[in-house]
Amino acid sequence: MGAQPSSPANAGAQTVRRAIQALKLIAAKTGDGMRLADVAQALDLERPTTHRLLKALAAEGMLSQHPGNRRYFLGSLVFELGLNATHQFNLIDLCRPQLHSLAEQTGDTTFLFVRSGNDAICLSRVQGPYPIQTPAVPVGARQPLGVNAGGLALLSALSEREAYEITQTVAPRLAVYGNLTPEQIMEHWARAQISGYALIGNRAVPGVTAVGLPVISEKGAPIAAITIAATSSRMTEERVAEIVPWLRQTTEIVAQRL
């Protein structure tokens, strides 16, 4: 007696499992992406079946495909869902004591940012005791990655190719930030690779300079970013050198507690 045909419910569950497996595979190759043939081989599927699966995930925003090399990468919806999941892990509550401590140490305003697609969103802000405070990015504000120190810190944790693709995508939105260009963002990205921290001024908020570092997961992915902002005249090279160790200690503490 032949095998019974799969029920619609079983077929649907199998499709979901395959989709999750594909996402896990591509997530593990976040810097390089994956070719259709490689995903098909890893999942032991025919190429047409794999193609339909990946196209469906891309249509829903779970994957994106590079127009040049046709490799698949995680899509913006993954980061949107991740942003929503941060509330379950109490990221804001977990970071609040560290943000307050850092604000007290430096006297300046501290921020918590997370990535949402090609943007950085401000989740939390703590004002320090220094008498001259800066106009600040408000909680909930969304700006392109690379415009503020939080977004630049998150961008600096990505590969050069990923960073370049993001800057090209957000290029039409950059003019309002002091005529910032994708090339200038990539210059900031390159400096962050050398210095080990993100530093940018007079872009997100005129007259304000901020320094930031990403919070890195055990797998090496940027979870969030913590920044310190002050007036550009106050944020001198000497001051940056003074506060970066405090900032680094804070991000390491947060990473350990996640």
Please write the tens of the pLDDT for every residue from 92-143: 888 999 999 999 999 999 999 998 888 898 999 999 888 876 667 788 888 9
| Cα gap 120→148, rounded to integer Å | 8
Report pLDDT for 31.
62
The pLDDT confidence band at residue 46, using thresholds 50, 70 and 90, is very high
Write down the pLDDT at residue 168: 93
Predicted local distance difference test score (pLDDT) of residue 85: 64
In terms of Cα–Cα distance, which of 60, 58, 87, 84 is closest to 73?
58
Alpha helices (H) along the chain: 8-28, 36-43, 47-59, 76-85, 91-106, 149-156, 160-170, 182-195, 237-257
Q: By three-state DSSP, how is residue 211 classified?
A: strand
DSSP annotation of 202: S
Contact 167, 182 (CB under 8 A): yes
pLDDT digits (tens, 9 = 90+) for 174-187: 988 888 999 999 99
Alpha carbons 190 and 202: distance in angstroms, whole number: 18
Closest CA to 123 of 159, 157, 85, 178: 85
Query: Residue 7: which pLDDT band, with cuts at 50, 70 and 90?
Result: low
This prediction has a pTM of: 0.69
User: pLDDT by residue (tens digit) across 146-173?
Assistant: 999 999 999 999 989 989 999 999 999 9
Residue 81 has pLDDT above 80, yes or no: no
